[in-house]
């Protein structure tokens, strides 16, 4: 049974599409440290780093809340995700009506805002300067939620905004 629920007892996770190598390694190490006793991680797991973190979380049976950027109806899950759902370590949810058949830029932004609204705090592995993920980081801070990131010169702008290094 998964610890936590969708009432702010989970940690949000995001990473920009573009991510420096040192941060990728830190995200992998961090994901490898998560296990069945960890607080659930909620995310869309859309970028390549997010997908790699999800793969490691599933391997470690860490609790995951996978939020789709489209309707859950008709969604084809991978074998790994299906196995994690069956094992009870992953829950897949969607904030969208059945007619939202695919992920769009707009639905991804809505999904990300939904994730932030459900998370107690958010870890942003990396946000490109002046990008959408950096704007999301500012939104996290504006809502008074904890914002975390990895120590890296590439994350200096997040740290200057108020992110705490993990």
Class of residue 136 by CB neighbours under 10 A (exposed 0-12, middle 13-18, buried 19+):
buried
Q: How confident is the model over 20-55, as pLDDT tens digits?
A: 999 999 999 999 999 999 999 999 999 999 999 999
Decide yes or no: CATH 3.90.380.10 for domain 11-165. Answer: no
**What pLDDT, on the 0 to 100 scale, is given for residue 6?**
52
Q: How confident is the model over 90-148, as pLDDT tens digits?
A: 999 999 999 999 999 999 999 999 999 999 999 999 999 999 999 999 999 999 999 99
User: Which tokens is 85 given?
Assistant: 């759902």
Residue 101 near residue 126, CB atoms below 8 Å: no
Domain ranges within the chain, ordered by starting residue: 11-165
- pLDDT-based confidence at residue 9 (cuts at 50, 70, 90): confident
* pTM for the whole structure: 0.94
């Amino acid at each position: 049974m998964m610890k936590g629920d969708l009432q702010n007892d989970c940690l949000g996770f995001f990473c920009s599409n573009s991510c420096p190598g040192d941060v990728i390694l830190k995200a992998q190490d961090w994901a490898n440290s998560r296990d069945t006793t960890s607080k659930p991680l909620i995310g869309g797991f859309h970028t390549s780093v997010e997908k790699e973190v999800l793969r490691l979380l599933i391997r470690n049976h860490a609790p995951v809340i996978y939020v789709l950027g489209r309707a859950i109806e008709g969604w084809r899950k991978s074998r790994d995700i299906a196995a994690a759902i069956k094992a009870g370590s992953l829950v897949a949810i969607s904030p969208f009506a059945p007619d939202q058949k695919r992920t769009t830029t707009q639905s991804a932004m809505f999904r990300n805002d939904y994730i932030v609204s459900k998370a107690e705090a958010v870890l942003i592995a990396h946000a490109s300067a002046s990008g959408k993920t950096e704007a999301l980081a500012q939104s996290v801070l504006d809502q008074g939620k904890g914002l975390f990131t990895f120590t890296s010169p590439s994350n200096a702008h997040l740290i200057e905004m108020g992110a705490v290094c993990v």
